[in-house]
Chains A and B, each alone.
Chain A
Amino acid sequence: MDRLKRILYIFLPIVFFLFVFVLDVVNRSYRIEEEAVRYTREFLIVTAFLLLYLFMESTGKRYNRGSAKEIGRLLVGCIAVLGWIGVNTLFPAARFVEQEGAFVPFSATTILFSEILCIAVGIFSIRMVLSIRTLVMTKPKRGTKRMFAFLLIAVLLSSGAALPFIPVDIAVVGSIAFGAGIVLSILNSFKQNWIVYLSRREKIYTIVYSLLLFLGFVGLNIVLNERTFLRSSLEYFSVPLSRFVQLNAIFGGVYFGMSLFSTLFHLPTAEVYERKQFELSSLHNLSRLINQVFDFHDLVNTVTQMTLEVVGAKSAWLELVQEEKGEGERPLHVVSRKNISQEEIEIFNRAAGNALRQVVLDSKKVLSIDNVATDRRTKELKRSDLPVGSLLTVPLLSHGELIGFLHATKDFAGGFDQDDIEVLTTFCDNVTIAIENSKLIVRSIERERLQQEMMVAQQMQRRLLPQSLPVYENVEIAAISEPSLEVGGDYFDFVRIDDEKLGVVVGDVSGKGVSAAFYMAEVKGIFQSLSKVYPMPKEMLIHANETLLGSLERKAFISMVYGIIDTKRGILYYSRAGHCPPIYLSDGTSELLRPNGLGLGLTNGRLFEKSTEERIIRLKTGDICVFYTDGLAEARNSSGVELGYEGLLEIAKDVKPSSAHDIKQHIWSEVRNYMGGSTYTDDMTLVVIKWLGTSARPA
C-alpha cells in the first residue's frame, strides 16, 4: 500500500507535467486563450508539486542524517540546479521573446527546457523547505513550530495569490504575504540550535556548506531578479511557483547566511562542547561501572580510567581505606593507578598528599589545588619533581564515613574548572556506591562459602565420633556429644587395646571451624594407631605430642584426658594432657582428678614428659568416672555466671546410684537446666564410665 502510494506520488506528477507540456506546446501554436485551459494547467502544476512534496516528505522521514549531512545534500542540489541554469544558457533555444508584455517561448524546445528547469527549481525549493524545517526543529522551543508554520503560510499565501483565478485586487494580499514571508524568514533564521550539537569537524564542514549555500542562494536570487531564462520560464510556467521559489530563495539565503555566522561563532567553543558531550557519555557509562561490581579489580581499574577520560586528567589514582584491621589506624591502600607509579604516589604523599587528605577529611568536600606552584599547601610538592600543575582530591564517602580518595592531576596549572569538579564529584558518588556494592557481594559470597565449609566440617566431625559404644560385662559406658552452632573441636573415642583393656579418650582441639575439624581427624588417626602400640596412657600421650608438634600450627593445641581401663582387674590408668580434670565418684566421695599435665602440641617432648603424670586408680564396685570437655564446666546461666568445675562436681555428687546412662542423663539435664534457655556457645561432651565390679561377671 505504502509502496503503491509512493509510486503514485511520482507517477502522477510526471503524467501531469507531461500533460502541461503538451498543452503548452499546443497552446503556443494555436493560442487557445481559454480560461479553462489556464485553470487546468495551474491545477495540474499545483497538484503535481503537492504530490512531490508528499513523496519527498515521506522519504525524507525515513533517513535521519546528521544536520551537516543534511545541508551537504542540499548543497549538492543547489549546485545541480545552478549548474543546470548555467547549462541552459548554452542553448540558443532557451530564451523567451517578449511580445506585448508577455513572455513567449522561442520554440517548442524552449518549452521543454523551461519546464524541466522550473520543475527542478520547484523540487529544489521543496527540498530546501524540508531540510531547513528539520534544522529549525532541532531542540525546538514552544513557539518554534508555530513560527515555521507561519512562514509556510506566508509562502503559500504569496504563491496562492498569484493563481490565475484570484482577482487582481485580492492579489495585493500576495504582496503583503511576500513581505511577511521575508520577515518570518529572518525570524526563523535565528533557530540555529542544530549547530550546537555538531562536532568540531562537522562544524568546519558546516561553515563551508553554509557559505556555499549562502552564495548559491544569493546567486539564485540574482538570477530570479534579473531578466534571465529562469525568471522568464517561471513566469511563463507558473507564477505561483515563481513566487514560491523566489521567497524560498530569499529564505534560504537568509537562513544559511545566519548559519554561516552562527557556526563561525560556535567554532571556538566546539571543543568544549565536544568535551561536555564526552563527559555526559562517560557519566552515562557509569551504569556499566555498576555492573562491574562482580570483579573488584576491573571495577577500580575502570574508575581510574574513567577519571582520565571524564576530566581529561593526566594521571589518576584511587586509594581505599583498608578493612579488617583492628581499631585505630586505618591505612590507605592504592587499588588502582593510571600514569603514575607507586613510587611517585609515595613522593606525592610525603610532599603534600597526607596533609591534603587531612584537609579533605576535615571538610568532607572535594579539594582542588588550582596552581600547585603558588598554593601554600603544596609548596613541598612543587619542589618534588612530580609533573603536577593542578590537582583534585575527592573523598569517597559512604553514609558519611570515608572509604577512600580519588586523586586526579594535570601537568599544568588551572587544569580543572568548576565543571570538572562537579562532574568528578558526581562520578565519585557513583563510584562509592559501586565499591560498597562490590564489597557487599564479596562479603555475602564469603559468608555463603563459610556456611558451606561449616556444614562440611560439621558432617565430618559427626562422622569422626564413635557411632556405637563399646560393650563390656564389667564396665558400663555412656556418652553424649553435642556440637555448638559453630564447629568446635570436641573429640571422644574408644579403642579396644586388647581383650581386656579399653582406652577412653576425651579431648578438645583449640579453635573452631574447619581447621578444628581437620585436627580432630588427625587426632583420631593418631589415637587409634598409637594407643595400640603404646599401651600406657602417658607413653601414648608422649608420642601423640611428638607427632602433633610437627603438624599443628603454632597457635593450635589439643587437650586430652586418656584413660585405660583394665576391664578384668578393675584398674584405671590415666593421664591428663591439659584437659579438664575428670570427676571421680566413689563410695559417696567425689573428687576432681587433676594430675599434672601439659596440652598436646604446646612444647617439646622432654618438657612434656617431665610435666605429665600418670596415675592409677583401683576401682571399687560402683565407682564412677566422668570425662567431659570445658563446654560443661564453662556453661553459663542466664545471668552469665559460669558453672565452674566445682559446680559441675556438685551436680555429679548428687547422682543416685544408677546406671551410667542415667548418670549421664542426670548430669546433662542438670547442666542444661543451669543454662536455662541460653544456647551453648561451646561444644559439650560427656562420657560416663561405671565400674560394675568383678562380681558382676558370671563365675
Chain B
Amino acid sequence: MSDFKIHEREGAGVSVLELKGYLDAHTAPELESAFQKLLSTKKYNIVVNCKDLSYISSAGLGVFMAFIEDVRKNRGDIKLTNMSPKVYNVFDLLGFPILYEIYKEEEEAVKRFNEVKHV
C-alpha cells in the first residue's frame, strides 16, 4: 500500500508538491520530510497538487496541520488544488475548507500567491 510519490516543482516563487497514490499513516512521514525540506530552505509559498492523490487518511491530514502554522507565521501558505471528489470529501468532512484555501486548478493557487505578493 505504500504507493505514494511526491514530485516537487518550482515555479514563479511557488513550490509545488504533486502527490500521487495513498497518503496514510505509513506514507505520511514522506510528505512530512518534503515539507521540512521546503521550510528549511525558506520556501513558504507551497501549493499541494492532489491530482493523483487517490486516498488520504487522518494521519495524512495531520501533516498539513503540522506545518501550516509555521508556514503562515512566515507569511506563506499551503494551498491545495486539483482534488478528486473523494479526497475533497475527506478534507471537507473535517472542515479543512475553512482552514485551507482549496482550488480546482493549480494555476489559480499560483496566481493567488502572486497577487498577494504584488499588493
Which residues of A come within 8 Å of B, CB atoms? 325-326, 489, 508, 510-512, 553-557, 559, 578-581, 594, 596-599, 602-603, 607, 611, 630, 642, 644-645, 681-682
Contacts and interface: CB of A to CB of B under 8 A. Distances in A.
A578 B98 CA distance: 11
Contacts of A554: 65-66, 69
Contact of B33 (A325, A602, A645): A325
Nearest to B30: A326
A144 B65 CA distance: 84
A550 to B, nearest CB: 14
A516 to B, nearest CB: 9
B58 A559 contact: yes
Nearest to A603: B99
Interface stretch (B39-47, B87-95, B104-112): B87-95
B93 A580 contact: yes
Contacts of A578: 93-95
Given A554-B65, A557-B65, A581-B93, A602 B58 contact: no
Contacts of B89: 645
Contacts of A579: 93
B98 A607 contact: yes
B30 to A, nearest CB: 5
Contacts of A599: 94-95
A598 B69 CA distance: 17
Contacts of B93: 559, 578-581, 594
Nearest to B33: A326
B59 A598 contact: no
A634 to B, nearest CB: 8
27 contacts: A326-B30, A326-B33, A326-B34, A489-B58, A510-B58, A510-B59, A510-B61, A510-B62, A511-B25, A554-B65, A554-B66, A555-B63, A555-B65, A556-B62, A557-B62, A559-B58, A559-B93, A578-B95, A580-B93, A581-B93, A598-B94, A599-B95, A602-B94, A603-B98, A607-B99, A642-B86, A645-B89
Contacts of A325: 33
B96 to A, nearest CB: 8
Nearest to A512: B25
B95 A597 contact: yes
Interface centre among B29, B65, B99 (most CB of A within 10 A): B65
B99 A557 contact: no
A597 B89 CA distance: 13
Given A511-B62, A597-B95, A645-B89, 5 more contacts: A555-B59, A579-B93, A598-B98, A603-B99, A681-B1
B99 to A, nearest CB: 6
Contacts of B34: 326
A581 B90 CA distance: 11
Nearest to B6: A326
A340 to B, nearest CB: 28
Contact of A555 (B66, B86, B94, B98): B66
Interface string B27-57: 0011001100000000000000000000001
A355 B70 CA distance: 37
Can you list the 9 inter-chain pairs with the closest CB atoms, starting with the nearest? A598-B95, A555-B66, A555-B62, A510-B58, A578-B94, A599-B94, A554-B66, A510-B62, A611-B98
B38 to A, nearest CB: 13
A682 B59 CA distance: 12
Interface string B53-88: 000011101110110010000000000000000100
Contact of A559 (B1, B94, B99): B94
Contacts of A594: 93
A548 B107 CA distance: 36
A241 B91 CA distance: 111
A557 B30 contact: no
Contacts of B65: 554-557, 602
B59 A511 contact: yes
Contacts of A602: 65, 94-95, 99
B98 A508 contact: no
A647 to B, nearest CB: 12
A349 to B, nearest CB: 21
Given A511-B59, A554-B69, A557-B65, A611 B95 contact: yes
